[in-house]
Amino acid sequence: MARETVSKYISLRRNHPAWSLLASPKGPLILASLKSLIDSSPGGVVLEEAVERLATVFADYANDSEFDLGEDHPLAARREIRQWIKRGLIVERDGKILATDAFQRALLFRLEQEYLPKELVHRQLHAWVQGADRIAQRFL
């Protein structure tokens, strides 16, 4: 049973956008960076503005051992955003970045962890994981 459950979670981590986003090594930097931009521009954030903001955040965290950011922060930011678009974590329309449901779920997960009582969070997370398991069953 445990092996089967682990396999399901691995599949979810690989295939479910919200899991991908939360598991991304640079995810916290990108979530924090893009959240403020998206919140201030609900109609979409100009791609170049998002790249500039993320490059600045990468530069700010360049010496943090938690992140492997390299030297060329603008290039790394552009690549990371392109990967997020490719995986469906954010979308680009008419040169603007927009949040997806997966992006919003990841933010909601963070807010739940920060603001809701732990027991409630665990129950909601358990219900969400059960739902994700049911969905995953359809694809396995």
The pLDDT of residue 56 is 95
* Separation between Cα atoms, residue 60 and residue 67, nearest integer Å: 11
- pLDDT for 85-109, tens place per residue? 888 788 999 999 998 887 777 777 6
Distances (CA, A) of 100 to 30, 75, 103, 122: 14, 23, 5, 24
Mean pLDDT for 135-140 is: 66
Give the whole-number percent of the chain exceeding pLDDT 90.
27
138 class by beta-carbon count within 10 Å (0-12 exposed, 13-18 middle, 19+ buried): exposed
* Separation between Cα atoms, residue 90 and residue 106, nearest integer Å: 12
CB 87 within 8 A of CB 134: no
- pLDDT for 7-32, tens place per residue? 888 887 777 766 776 677 888 888 88
Alpha helix segments (H runs only) across the chain:
2-15, 17-23, 27-40, 47-60, 73-86, 101-115, 118-139
